[in-house]
Structure 1
Amino acid sequence: MLSRRRLLTAALLAPALSWASGTPVPQRLAVLDWGLAETILALGVTPAGVSAPDWYRKLIPTPALPKTVQDLGLLFQPNLETLYALKPDAIVITPQHALLKPALEKIAPILTLPAHGLSAFIDSTRRLGAALQRQTQAQSLLARLHQQIARARGYAQTLRQPVILATPVDALHLQLYTGGSLPGDVLAACGMRNGWPGGGGAEGSVLMELTRIATLDARLILLVAEDRRDAVARWRQSPLWQRLPLTSRYPIGLIEQPISDAGALVTAGRFADIFSQLIAEWRDA
C-alpha cells in the first residue's frame, strides 16, 4: 500500500488534466473559501469578491488580498444581495457549500472545488489553472511546492522522533493536527511521522488533554497565534509543562509567524519551509 507521503508526491508530479474545456474564461470571480482565494491569487488572478476578506488577510498574509476586493459576507452565509450586485462570471465554492448551491446558481455559474487537505488543493490548483487558462502558473506553483517539500524531507531524514503538531488551546489542552488537515498532510509529505497514534476528526484535527499525550516520545511543534504568545510563554514556565516529558524532553518548536491551516499550496510551502528551519535548529542544538 502506498504511504500518504508517496501519494501526495505522486499527485504533485502528475500531469494536469484539462477541465471545463470550451467554457469562456471567467473574469470576475466570487470566492467563498479562503484556501481557494489563496490559490486564485497565486495564479495571478484577483477575485472580485471574497467571503470575510479581513479574516483572510489576518490568517493568510501571502499572497496578499487587495483592499479593493468586495466583502461577500460570511463563509457559509454570503450576502446574496452583494453577490448579485457584484455580477460575477462564476462563483467558486466547496462541496461544503452544497446547501447554498441552488440560490447561488441563480446568480452565476458555479465552480465547485475540493478545499480540504493537501491533495485536494493540488487537484483544485490544476483545475483552476485550466479553468482560468493559467496552466503555466499552476505548474510553477506545484513545482515550487515539490521543491519545498523535498528540501524539508531531506532535513527530516535526520529526525529520529515522531512529531506532534498542535495549536495550544489553554494550559491543559492542545488541538492536534492529523492527516486530512493541511499542516498534518504537509508533515507527512515531508517525511515526518505524526506522533499522535490515534486518528483525527473530519477536519483532520482532534482536541486532546495534554496529560493524555504527555508521555509520548515525540517532538512538539506549536502553531501559536499572535494573541496567544504571552499565554503560551506563561504555560511553558508552569511546573506542569516543565515536568511532562512531551513538553520538556526536547526543545519545543514554535511557529509564531502568521500562518493558518485555512490556506492552500502557498501556505503548504510555507509550512514545509518552517519545518526545514525547525529541524535544522534541532539538529544544531
Structure 2
Amino acid sequence: MTTALFRPANVIRHAHSARRRALLGRATAWAITCAVPLRARAQARVPRRVVVMNWELTETLLALGHAPIGIPLPSWYSSTIVAPPLPRGVADTGLLYQPNFEMLVALAPDLMIVTPGHASILPALQRIAPTLTLGAYMSDAHPYARLCEETRAMASAFDTDSRASALIDATTQNTQAVEQRLGLQPDRTRAPVIVAEAIDDRHLRVYGSGSLFDDMLRGIGVSNAVNPPASANHATASWTTNAAGSALVPLQRLTEVSHAGVLLISPLQPDVLTTLKKNPLWRALPAVRERRVAQLPVIAPYGGLVSMQRFVTAVEAALDTISTGRGGLA
C-alpha cells in the first residue's frame, strides 16, 4: 500500500471521531437485505445523507425517490446514465475508486453505498459512515434477476419497499408491452441483432450472455446474434464474453453474422463515426449496405431498471427504423 493511501486514513481517524464511533455503532442497522424484519427496520433511522460511490447505483437510488448528497464526478453521471436526472448541488466525491476522503468526511454521510470494487478501501470508508455494498449484479450470470434483488435491497435500507416493487412492476409491464407489440409484427423480430459500442473504426464491444442487454432482448423476444443457436458451426459459436457479458471484437467478426442487424449504443464519437464510415470493411458489411444499422441513445449497459426500460423502448424504435429501410448512421 502506498503512502498516498495512508494519508487519507490519518485524516479520517482524527476527524469527527466521536461522531464516527456513534455511526459505527449503528453500522449493522444499515447492512440490510430483503429479509430484514420490518420491525427492525422501523426502529433504525432512515438514512438522509447518502453518498453513492457508483453511477449505476445512483440511478437506482434516484429511481427509488432519494437523492444522494455526493457521487463521483457528477458530470459523468449526466453524460452516461442520463435518467433519472441528477439534481443540482450534488457534491463531487472524486474518482470512482480513488475518492476524495477529505470531501467524504466533510459531507458527513450517514450511509455510503459502495460496490464490490471498493473492497480495498472499504475499511477506510467505514471509518466515515456505515456502508451498504451493492452492484454484484453487474457480473452475475443472471444480471436482471440480481438487479431486481438489489433494487429491493436498496429500497429496504430506506424502508421504502413499495417503491422497489413499483419500479420492478413498471419495468416488467414495459418489457411485456414491447414484446407484445413486436409479436404483432414478426418480421421485425425474426432476424437477430448485435448490440454494440463502437470503440474505434476497427473494434466493437458487443453484449452477449451474462449482460443486462442480453437479458432484456430475451424479455422482448429478440434474438441476440452474439449467442448463436446450438446448431451453429464452431467458428460462429466462439463469441466468448467476460464476466460482465461483453466482449471486445474486431469489426470483421460481424461477417460471421451477416444476417443480423446492428444496434450501436450512443454516444458515437464524431472522429470514430467519420473513420468508421470510411472503413471499407464496414461499408462492405451486408447490414450496412442493406441499411440494417440503427443508433440507440445513451444507455448505460450496467444501469438500473430505468436504463433497462429505456433500452427495450429504444430497441423497439430501432427495429422499426431497420424494418422500414431507414437504418444507417447519420
For the aligned pair, the TM-score class normalised by the smaller chain equals 0.7 to 0.9
User: Counterpart in 1 of 2:75?
Assistant: 54
Is residue 2:244 matched to residue 1:223? no
Q: Percent identity over the alignment?
A: 34
Q: Work out which of the two has the higher radius of gyration on C-alpha atoms and give 1 or 2.
A: 2
- Indicate which of 160, 164, 171 corresponds to 1:145: 171
Alignment of 1:145-164 (within 5 A): 145-157=171-183, 158=186, 159-164=189-194
Q: What amino acid does structure 2 have at the position aligned with 1:144?
A: A
User: Counterpart in 1 of 2:303?
Assistant: 263
User: Counterpart in 1 of 2:146?
Assistant: 120
Q: Using the alignment, how far apart are the partners of 2:169 and 2:180 within structure 1?
A: 17
Q: Using the alignment, how far apart are the partners of 1:183 and 1:229 within structure 2?
A: 24
User: Counterpart in 2 of 1:202?
Assistant: 243
Aligned length: 268
User: Counterpart in 2 of 1:214?
Assistant: 255
Q: Is the 8 Å Cα contact of residues 59 and 262 (structure 1) preserved in structure 2?
A: no
Local SS of the residue matching 1:214 = helix
Is residue 2:307 matched to residue 1:277? no
Cα–Cα, structure 1 residues 233 and 150, in superposed 2: closer, same or farther, change >3 Å?
A: farther
Q: Is the 8 Å Cα contact of residues 197 and 205 (structure 2) preserved in structure 1?
A: yes
Alignment of 1:169-180 (within 5 A): 169-180=199-210
Q: Is the 8 Å Cα contact of residues 149 and 189 (structure 1) preserved in structure 2?
A: yes
Relative contact order, higher structure (CA 8 A, sep 6+): 1
Structure 2: gaps spanning 5 or more residues: 1-32, 228-238, 326-330
User: Counterpart in 2 of 1:32?
Assistant: 53
Q: In the TM superposition, what whole-angstrom CA distance separates every residue of 1:87-140 from its partner, at most 9, and x where no partner exists? A: 111110112211121111111111111351433321121111121122222122
Local SS of the residue matching 2:247 = strand
Alignment of 1:44-193 (within 5 A): 44-114=65-135, 115-116=137-138, 117-157=143-183, 158=186, 159-193=189-223
Structure 1: gaps spanning 5 or more residues: 1-15
State the Cα RMSD in Å. 2.1
Q: CA deviation at 1:64?
A: 1.1
Q: Is the 8 Å Cα contact of residues 52 and 68 (structure 2) preserved in structure 1?
A: yes
Q: Is the 8 Å Cα contact of residues 28 and 47 (structure 1) preserved in structure 2?
A: yes
Q: In the TM superposition, what whole-angstrom CA distance separates every residue of 1:210-262 from its partner, at most 9, and x where no partner exists? A: 11231312111111315x1464255235432232234334521211x332224
Q: Using the alignment, how far apart are the partners of 1:106 and 1:231 within structure 2?
A: 44
Q: What amino acid does structure 2 have at the position aligned with 1:62?
A: A
User: Counterpart in 1 of 2:17?
Assistant: none
User: Counterpart in 2 of 1:232?
Assistant: 273
Q: CA deviation at 1:78?
A: 1.2
Q: Say which is worse superposed, 199-208 or 109-118, in terms of deviation.
A: 109-118
